[in-house]
Amino acid sequence: MIPALILFALTYVLMLTFSKYRPYIALASALIFIVTGMLPLAEIWPSIDLNVLLMIAGTMGLVALFIESRMPELLADLIMEKVPNVQWAAVSLGLFAGVISAFVDNVATVLMIAPVAMEICKKLKTNPVPFIIGIAVSSNLQGAATLVGDTTAIMLGSALDMSFMDFFWYLGKPSIFFAVELGAVLSAMILYFIFRKEKAPIPRSGKRTEVTDMVPTWLLGGAIVLLILASFLPSKPATTNGMICCALLVVGLIYNFLRKKDMSAVTEPLKGIDFETIGLLVGLFLMIGGISAQGVIDAAANLLAKLGGGNVFVLYTVIVWASVIISAFIDNIPYVATMIPVIAGLAAALGVDPTPLYFGLLSGATLGGNMTPIGASANITGIGILRKAGYEVKNGDFFKIGIPFTLAAIVPAYIYIWLLYGVH
């Protein structure tokens, strides 16, 4: 277990230090996990979240068609007509991304909203880096708001047998949705403060971009609707979301080819798929599979249980804040999957209601990914979009938004959940 933990920690230090080479560092580390046997051959395929990879690839292709249709430019024009200055443009984009990601996967949300932000920044001739970071962290925040917002929310809903409406009202009380939204309001204020110097007025050209082809927009909108509907299907295949996005991309490519009668209609949108981002995620999935196989995640869960002792408030506090820290560095899905049965056992042993512990786990693990640029798939995706556009995201650029944003979101949620479900 110790060698796996050392390799994992060293890899993250290298990725944070040499940000340009993150995909290669992650893949090299994954290869070491495999060659040394720390990740058994039988665990390689199960460790890779194929659904996420297919969803990213399919949505990136759809977004390429979406950009080509000039719809992001039109949406940028519409937003710029409604907001008074650059500061409010940044806050509005973050809030818009948050609303969408409460119902659609965070990565898909970033891929859909980022092109609009890039167009706004191009028109305003301003740096898009903080805009895209704001969109990514806002998307991560809202993942815990509804049953369909994030994989971890789906896992918790399954563990507690919660319906879609239980995320709004549970056990006769306002549920976790309102804890997340309370955090969203305060974190929006953080974005407002971060962009406080961006007071430049929005230029009014009076002209809107003309969109002549609506099919890519309908396909992207269709992806949102189908992803929401698919979340309600019981016992669906694990790659359902990914297959939806890829199938719609195929439809879009066929349509584009029939419209243009040229193979570039197929090849150009496919170039929009960022294979470096996909490679980074594959490396991270395999690394996490390796430390999981070596018992690191189980040991972390057991340590949390011991730190909490027999005091429910202390246990709740440890779970929330340890989840924030742990999920800043490892994918929250295997962590939450490990912690759910641990919490169930602890609650049964102590004879207490597990609800505040479960809600604390979900809020902490979901928001912790916003602490670092490689703590969540949405962050990795947003940084990949910026890199492809020629912008390098330094760790400091991310930390100065991600850390205060996370604290502003988690503190009110931490207090809210305990007051409503922990105090008796």
| Class of residue 64 by CB neighbours under 10 A (exposed 0-12, middle 13-18, buried 19+) | buried
| Class of residue 233 by CB neighbours under 10 A (exposed 0-12, middle 13-18, buried 19+) | exposed
Q: Distance between CA 49 and CA 278 in Å, rounded?
A: 11
Q: Distance between CA 372 and CA 381 in Å, rounded?
A: 13
pLDDT at 30: 94
Look at residues 362, 384, 321 and name the one whose alpha carbon lies nearest to residue 133. Answer: 384
pLDDT at 334: 64
pLDDT at 424: 63
Q: φ, ψ for residue 157 (rounded to 5)?
A: -60, -40
- Which tokens sit at 122? 């191009």
| Banded pLDDT at 386 (limits 50, 70, 90) | very high
122, HSE (Cβ side, Cα atoms, 13 Å): 14
- Residue corresponding to tokens 């991560």: 140
Look at residues 351, 411, 409, 413 and name the one whose alpha carbon lies nearest to residue 137. Answer: 409
Q: In the predicted model, is pLDDT for residue 305 greater than 80?
A: no
Between 7 and 203, name the one with better pLDDT.
7
Average pLDDT over residues 122-151: 84
8 Å CB contact between 335 and 323: yes
8 Å CB contact between 246 and 278: no
Q: In the predicted model, is pLDDT for residue 205 greater than 70?
A: no
Per residue in 21-76, pLDDT (tens digit) is 888 998 999 999 999 999 999 999 988 888 878 877 888 788 788 878 878 777 77
Summary mean pLDDT of the chain: 84
- Residue corresponding to tokens 């309001």: 185
pTM: 0.73
Between 256 and 280, name the one with better pLDDT.
256
Average pLDDT over residues 77-81: 78
51-65, 194-208, 364-378, 406-420: segment of lowest average pLDDT = 194-208
Q: Distance between CA 253 and CA 317 in Å, rounded?
A: 50
Q: In the predicted model, is pLDDT for residue 171 greater than 80?
A: yes
8 Å CB contact between 117 and 360: no
Q: Distance between CA 139 and CA 100 in Å, rounded?
A: 8
pLDDT at 20: 76
Per residue in 210-255, pLDDT (tens digit) is 888 899 889 988 887 887 788 777 777 878 888 988 999 999 999 9
Q: Distance between CA 52 and CA 238 in Å, rounded?
A: 10
pLDDT at 315: 87
